[in-house]
């Protein structure tokens, strides 16, 4: 039956993960050693490749630096691994001697420094999703000794207790001055009442409640108000409700923007619940590809990106009476652009109220930007928090986080744990390992309830993190940065902070963008620690040393606008009629180089003409809430009469890499099923199209998905996105046509959007990008990984141990001259 099938799949997935983890958990030294050896080998190959390739060629400054850097890195790692052999340092953390610790610190800062210098060369996180996968692919052979794995897995349980991490208590972060006892009292009292009464009572206990009337007065007196208050004080959930109660929704909606989709959804759900209405009616949310609002909606939570898009349809935001730019301190790209746009419309819409709310105290900057708008401070109620650092740097923070959580669980008084991780894969990994280890310990320890929270978590599961922890159990929340300020989870007493976050990093010279696991800032570290002191005195365990904190972390996170690709934003601004980007009122202007790069690319995509004005193509592209290269691919499909096929591909690409799965006991089957779609070496894009079309032919059958090792949930999402793209095609008056018999037409459409991502095979088996001569490789998940076509066009780059191209299609070089002669005119 379906249930059984699902269960079997889930089990085998878990078993597979277990084995992988068993392998790497078994011995940290061995794992690190292997990893290092692999990295060395790859570096050596790369260096040799490049020496061969560039022999006699004049290298640019950047290329020379790259090669030099690789050589240095190679030497460094080699030296380090020799040292390790001699000193035998990489043992359990408690075996570090004084000297070892110092050496390690040096390494840590060398690594940090290198990270800063190059931004991309070496990843700090040893266990990112890709790497795990690659290793899995590369090391399939070594993973096949099933029975041995079982033994390793059982030894693993011992490891939990052998492996302790030493912390040093460093300081206490002071709490705020308020009456602790009274607080605790009033929490008790609320328990007896009916649910809705209890909810209303809870609302009244939030710090913001005391300031309700003052706040409403301030909003009435000023058009723009900056609001500052500790996370959890009630800004996001309460302020829109207060404004509604005060009548602001009579003449328009209240918009409240969030940098993250999960936050928008979760907060909207909470507010709907507090008001006793159905989500999507009076209270709704709007995120990309999902609009959960109706004609009734008066409180609208939305991502900052969605409000930005609303400007396209309604340049004066006439349907809103209040715009609250929430989480302003996050300084996401869209938030920064919103600042300028709302400031602009507030000048000719005096009735529009503007609230800028932030969780950090440096609100002066916002106030200054908005012509000295008044700052409304909501005093916090934070309890003191003890800060602990590790004695020595931790080589594997994921492992260290898990060990620390278990250590807390067995040694510390009741209170929930919050662990900050960098992304979905890592959270899933941690969840599996934790389950595995606690299962092994059986009844020896109290129950540990594991709650993951990340962007793609299904809505039903998101609610779980807010459920109260049952008596005698302990909850451990595995969260991305979303729990830093966007979501408040009550009852957290212990925070584990590995000190990393996944961030976009962009090199304006090459136009290459990668997601990178990077060290957090001191400001983030303080926010994270603060999460443990909300309902009582807390403890924060930092998985780095006090030295690292002091010397290696920046004070503040660099605003996204200064480290990202601006193509999308420039296209949006241009379509809003904002022409003079150099004089646009940015709070912190982006590097001029990045702006130029974006203009250049939009020009190459024919979205802008030589004067920098929006073309017809550009106007159509701007209608799609997608990366401009994807939008271009869609718009141009009109010419190649394959718009139906192209939007299927675009929808499938938007899902990311969660379409196929590979259960441990059926890897061969899964791989075969997958290869079926690659018959004829059609490339990954066409394979995705085939998957979609075959599913459609079975009338979107769930059974078919199981048989073909495809995730139903991802497919449903793709279908949903595809439907929306079809609607947008209609809007820009492009006919729906299909052309599956002419694969070249489809590939030409793809190339028309992605020609800046072309690469050519080198003798070494690696590829070089045509435009910037970067060395890149085909990702092992590609259907073309064994084929190695001479010319390819790729969807995206992911950086792990190497720079990998993901989703690849073969290309005929003459297409480049046909499609983008202006871009590829010079011969190399
Ligand atoms: P702020 O925006 O100032 O950080 P919030 O308004 O988000 O504060 O949170 C106020 C309170 O509402 C917190 O105690 C938080 O736990 C609670 N809360 C927020 N969202 C939810 C939810 N989805 N489920 C349950 N409680 C929630
Ligand atoms: Mg908030």
For the packed helices 684-697 and 743-754, what is the interaxial angle rounded to 10 degrees? 120
Task: List the 167-173 sheet strands across, edge first.
Answer: 167-173, 385-390, 538-542, 492-497, 416-420, 474-479, 448-453
Does the beta carbon of 258 sit less than 6 angstroms from any atom of ligand 1? Answer: no
Does the beta carbon of 235 sit less than 6 angstroms from any atom of ligand 1? Answer: yes
> Measured in angstroms, how far is the CA atom of residue 265 from the centroid of ligand 2?
12
Quick one: average pLDDT of 53-71? 64
For 8, 511, 662, 697, the CA distances from 669, given in Å and listed in that order, are 15, 39, 9, 22
> Measured in angstroms, how far is the CA atom of residue 215 from the centroid of ligand 2?
16
pTM: 0.77
pLDDT in tens, 433-485: 999 888 877 777 889 999 999 887 877 788 888 999 999 999 999 999 999 99
Residue nearest to atom 27 of ligand 1 (CA): 270
> Are the CB atoms for 804 and 797 separated by under 8 Å?
yes
CA–CA gap between residue 220 and residue 425 (Å, rounded): 46
Atom of ligand 1 nearest to the CA of 378: 3
For the packed helices 684-697 and 643-654, what is the interaxial angle rounded to 10 degrees? 100
CA–CA gap between residue 411 and residue 441 (Å, rounded): 15
Q: What are phi and psi of 491, to 5 degrees?
A: 90, 0
Of 796 and 92, which is predicted with more confidence? 796
The pLDDT of residue 133 is above 60: no
Burial of 508 (C-beta count, 10 Å sphere; 0-12/13-18/19+): buried
For 14, 65, 697, 703, the CA distances from 707, given in Å and listed in that order, are 19, 49, 14, 6
> Measured in angstroms, how far is the CA atom of residue 3 from the centroid of ligand 1?
35
Does the beta carbon of 357 sit less than 6 angstroms from any atom of ligand 1? Answer: no
**Residue 141: band (very low, low, confident or very high) from pLDDT cuts 50, 70, 90:** very low
Does the beta carbon of 530 sit less than 6 angstroms from any atom of ligand 1? Answer: no
Mutate which of 270, 357, 487 for ligand 1? The one with the most ligand atoms within 8 Å of its CB, which is 270
> Are the CB atoms for 547 and 104 separated by under 8 Å?
no
CA–CA gap between residue 616 and residue 607 (Å, rounded): 7
> Are the CB atoms for 802 and 39 separated by under 8 Å?
no
Start-to-end CA distance of the chain, whole Å, equals 59
Of 609 and 113, which is predicted with more confidence? 609
Residue 6 is predicted with a pLDDT of 65
Residue 81 is predicted with a pLDDT of 58
> Measured in angstroms, how far is the CA atom of residue 298 from the centroid of ligand 2?
19
Q: For every residue of 714-762, which 3-state class applies, written as one string?
A: HHHHHHHHHHHHHHHHHHCCCCCCCCCCCHHHHHHHHHHHHHHHEEEEC
For 538, 678, 778, 787, 803, the CA distances from 765, given in Å and listed in that order, are 54, 21, 9, 10, 14
The pLDDT of residue 84 is above 70: no
Does the beta carbon of 231 sit less than 6 angstroms from any atom of ligand 1? Answer: yes
CA–CA gap between residue 200 and residue 241 (Å, rounded): 12
> Measured in angstroms, how far is the CA atom of residue 552 from the centroid of ligand 2?
29
Residue 49 is predicted with a pLDDT of 66
Mutate which of 232, 243, 489 for ligand 1? The one with the most ligand atoms within 8 Å of its CB, which is 232
Among 249-258, 275-284, 412-421, 765-774, the least confident range: 765-774
The pLDDT of residue 790 is above 50: yes
Does the beta carbon of 237 sit less than 6 angstroms from any atom of ligand 1? Answer: yes
Does the beta carbon of 488 sit less than 6 angstroms from any atom of ligand 1? Answer: yes
> Measured in angstroms, how far is the CA atom of residue 121 from the centroid of ligand 2?
35
pLDDT in tens, 731-750: 999 999 999 999 999 999 99
Q: How many CB atoms sit inside 10 A of residue 199's CB?
A: 16
- Which residues are paired to 386 by β-bridges? 172, 539
The pLDDT of residue 132 is above 50: no
Closest among 541, 538, 586, 596 to 565, alpha carbons compared:
596
pLDDT in tens, 774-785: 899 999 889 999
pLDDT in tens, 348-404: 999 999 999 998 767 899 999 999 999 999 988 889 999 999 998 888 899 999 999
The pLDDT of residue 117 is above 70: no
> Are the CB atoms for 785 and 678 separated by under 8 Å?
no
Does the beta carbon of 557 sit less than 6 angstroms from any atom of ligand 1? Answer: no
Quick one: average pLDDT of 549-576? 92
CA–CA gap between residue 31 and residue 328 (Å, rounded): 41
Which ligand is nearest the CA of 227, by number?
Answer: 1
Which ligand is nearest the CA of 535, by number?
Answer: 1
pLDDT in tens, 3-56: 666 666 666 556 555 544 444 433 444 545 665 676 677 777 777 766 665 555
Residue nearest to atom 17 of ligand 1 (CA): 488
Does the beta carbon of 269 sit less than 6 angstroms from any atom of ligand 1? Answer: yes
> Measured in angstroms, how far is the CA atom of residue 397 from the centroid of ligand 2?
28
Compute the mean pLDDT over every residue in the chain, rounded to the nearest whole number.
Answer: 83
> Are the CB atoms for 640 and 746 separated by under 8 Å?
yes
For 256, 682, 685, 813, 828, the CA distances from 810, given in Å and listed in that order, are 45, 8, 10, 10, 20
The pLDDT of residue 158 is above 50: no
Quick one: average pLDDT of 549-574? 92
> Measured in angstroms, how far is the CA atom of residue 656 from the centroid of ligand 2?
28
Of 646 and 65, which is predicted with more confidence? 646
Does the beta carbon of 130 sit less than 6 angstroms from any atom of ligand 1? Answer: no
Task: List the 224-229 sheet strands across, edge first.
Answer: 290-292, 283-287, 299-303, 253-258, 320-325, 353-358, 224-229, 375-378
> Measured in angstroms, how far is the CA atom of residue 207 from the centroid of ligand 1?
12
> Measured in angstroms, how far is the CA atom of residue 424 from the centroid of ligand 1?
22
CA–CA gap between residue 415 and residue 286 (Å, rounded): 34
**CA atoms within 13 A of residue 527's CA, in its CB half-sphere:** 29
Residue nearest to atom 6 of ligand 1 (CA): 234
> Measured in angstroms, how far is the CA atom of residue 231 from the centroid of ligand 1?
9
Quick one: average pLDDT of 643-654? 96
Of 498 and 34, which is predicted with more confidence? 498
Does the beta carbon of 324 sit less than 6 angstroms from any atom of ligand 1? Answer: no
CA–CA gap between residue 514 and residue 506 (Å, rounded): 6
Which ligand is nearest the CA of 530, by number?
Answer: 1
Residue 221 is predicted with a pLDDT of 96
Of 765 and 108, which is predicted with more confidence? 765
The share of the chain scoring above pLDDT 70, in percent, equals 78
Q: What are phi and psi of 522, to 5 degrees?
A: -60, -40
Does the beta carbon of 270 sit less than 6 angstroms from any atom of ligand 1? Answer: yes
Does the beta carbon of 335 sit less than 6 angstroms from any atom of ligand 1? Answer: no
> Measured in angstroms, how far is the CA atom of residue 235 from the centroid of ligand 2?
6
Quick one: average pLDDT of 136-142? 38
Residues, beta carbon < 5 Å, ion ligand 2: 236
The share of the chain scoring above pLDDT 90, in percent, equals 57
> Are the CB atoms for 699 and 708 separated by under 8 Å?
no
The pLDDT of residue 764 is above 50: yes
Residue nearest to atom 21 of ligand 1 (CA): 270
Quick one: average pLDDT of 256-263? 94
Does the beta carbon of 527 sit less than 6 angstroms from any atom of ligand 1? Answer: no
Does the beta carbon of 232 sit less than 6 angstroms from any atom of ligand 1? Answer: yes
Tell me the DSSP string of 150-193: HHHHHHHHHHHHH----EEEEEEE----S-HHHHHHHHHHGGGS
DSSP 8-state class, residue 710: B
Residue nearest to atom 10 of ligand 1 (CA): 234
- Which residues are paired to 353 by β-bridges? 322
CA–CA gap between residue 128 and residue 347 (Å, rounded): 46
Does the beta carbon of 400 sit less than 6 angstroms from any atom of ligand 1? Answer: no
Does the beta carbon of 209 sit less than 6 angstroms from any atom of ligand 1? Answer: no
pLDDT in tens, 325-346: 999 999 999 999 999 999 999 9
For 203, 246, 283, 284, 394, the CA distances from 277, given in Å and listed in that order, are 16, 18, 7, 10, 48
Residue 62 is predicted with a pLDDT of 61
pLDDT in tens, 269-297: 999 999 999 999 999 999 998 999 999 99
């Amino acid at each position: 039956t379906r249930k059984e099938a699902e269960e079997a799949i889930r089990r085998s997935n878990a078993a597979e993960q277990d084995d992988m983890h068993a392998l790497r958990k078994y011995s940290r030294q061995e794992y690190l050693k292997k990893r290092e050896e692999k990295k060395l080998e790859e570096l050596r190959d790369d260096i040799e490749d490049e020496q061969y390739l560039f022999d006699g060629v004049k290298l640019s400054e950047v290329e020379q630096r790259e090669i030099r850097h690789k050589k240095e890195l190679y030497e460094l790692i080699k030296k380090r691994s020799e040292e390790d052999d001699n000193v035998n340092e990489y043992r359990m953390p408690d075996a570090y001697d004084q000297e070892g610790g110092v050496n390690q610190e040096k390494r840590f800062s060398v690594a940090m420094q290198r990270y800063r210098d190059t931004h991309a060369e070496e990843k700090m996180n040893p266990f990112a999703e890709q790497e795990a996968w690659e290793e899995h692919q590369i090391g399939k052979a070594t993973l096949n000794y099933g029975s041995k794995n079982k033994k390793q897995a059982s030894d693993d349980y011992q490891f939990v207790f052998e492996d302790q991490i030493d912390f040093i208590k460093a300081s206490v972060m002071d709490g705020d001055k308020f009456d602790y006892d009274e607080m605790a009292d009033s929490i008790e009292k609320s328990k007896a009442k009916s649910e809705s009464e209890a909810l209303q009572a809870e609302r009244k206990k939030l710090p913001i409640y005391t300031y309700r009337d003052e706040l409403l007065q301030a909003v009435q007196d000023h058009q723009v108000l900056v609001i500052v208050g500790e996370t959890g004080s009630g800004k996001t959930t309460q302020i829109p409700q207060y404004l509604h109660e005060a009548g602001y929704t009579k003449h328009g909606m209240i918009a409240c923007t969030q940098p993250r989709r999960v936050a928008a959804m979760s907060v909207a759900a909470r507010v709907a619940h507090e008001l006793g209405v159905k989500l999507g009616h009076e209270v709704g949310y709007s995120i990309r590809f999902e609009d959960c609002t109706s004609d009734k909606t008066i409180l609208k939570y939305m991502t900052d990106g969605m409000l930005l898009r609303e400007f396209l349809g309604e340049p004066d935001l006439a349907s809103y009476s209040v715009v609250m730019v929430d989480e302003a301190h996050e300084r996401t790209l869209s938030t920064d652009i919103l600042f300028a746009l709302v400031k602009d419309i507030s000048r000719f819409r005096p009735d529009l109220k503007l609230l800028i709310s932030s969780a950090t105290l440096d609100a002066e900057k916002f106030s200054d930007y908005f012509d000295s708008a008044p700052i409304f401070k909501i005093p916090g109620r934070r309890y003191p928090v003890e800060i602990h650092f590790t004695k020595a740097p931790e080589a594997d923070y994921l492992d260290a986080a898990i060990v620390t959580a278990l250590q807390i669980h067995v040694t510390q008084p009741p209170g929930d744990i919050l662990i900050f991780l960098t992304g979905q894969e890592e959270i899933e990994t941690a969840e599996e390992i934790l389950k595995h280890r606690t299962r092994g310990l059986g009844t020896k320890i109290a129950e540990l309830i594991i709650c993951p929270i990340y962007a793609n978590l299904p809505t039903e599961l998101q609610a779980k993190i807010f459920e109260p922890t049952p008596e005698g159990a302990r909850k451990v929340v595995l969260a991305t940065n979303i729990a830093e300020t966007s979501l408040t989870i009550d009852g957290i007493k212990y925070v584990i902070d590995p000190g990393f976050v996944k961030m976009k990093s962009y090199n304006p010279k090459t136009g290459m963008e990668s997601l990178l696991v990077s060290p957090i800032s001191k400001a983030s570290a303080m926010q994270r620690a603060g999460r443990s002191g909300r309902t009582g005195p807390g403890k924060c365990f930092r998985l780095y040393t006090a030295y690292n904190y002091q010397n290696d972390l920046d004070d503040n996170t660099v605003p996204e606008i200064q480290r990202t690709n601006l193509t999308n934003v420039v296209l949006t601004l241009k379509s809003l009629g904002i022409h003079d980007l150099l004089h646009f009122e940015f709070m912190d202007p982006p590097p001029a180089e990045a702006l130029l790069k974006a203009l250049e690319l939009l020009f190459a995509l024919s979205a802008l003409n030589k004067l920098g004005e929006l073309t017809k193509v550009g106007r159509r592209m701007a209608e799609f809430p997608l990366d401009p290269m994807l939008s271009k691919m869609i718009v141009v499909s009109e010419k190649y009469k394959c718009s139906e096929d192209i939007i299927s591909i675009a929808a499938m690409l938007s899902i990311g890499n969660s379409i196929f799965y590979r259960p441990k006991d059926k890897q061969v089957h899964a791989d075969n099923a997958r290869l079926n779609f690659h018959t004829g070496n059609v490339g990954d894009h066409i394979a995705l199209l085939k998957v979609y079309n075959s599913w459609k032919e079975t009338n979107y059958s769930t059974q078919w998905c199981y048989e073909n090792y495809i995730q139903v949930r991802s497919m449903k999402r793709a279908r949903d996105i595809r439907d929306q793209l079809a609607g947008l095609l209609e809007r820009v008056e492009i006919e729906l046509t299909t052309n599956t018999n002419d694969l070249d037409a489809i590939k030409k459409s793809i190339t028309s959007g992605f020609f800046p991502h072309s690469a050519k095979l080198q003798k070494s088996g690696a590829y070089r990008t045509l435009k910037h001569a970067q060395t890149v490789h085909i990702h092992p998940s590609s259907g073309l990984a064994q084929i190695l076509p001479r010319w390819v066009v790729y969807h995206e780059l992911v950086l792990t141990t190497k720079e990998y191209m993901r989703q690849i299609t073969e290309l005929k070089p003459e297409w480049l001259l046909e499609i983008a002669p202006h871009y590829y005119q010079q011969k190399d």
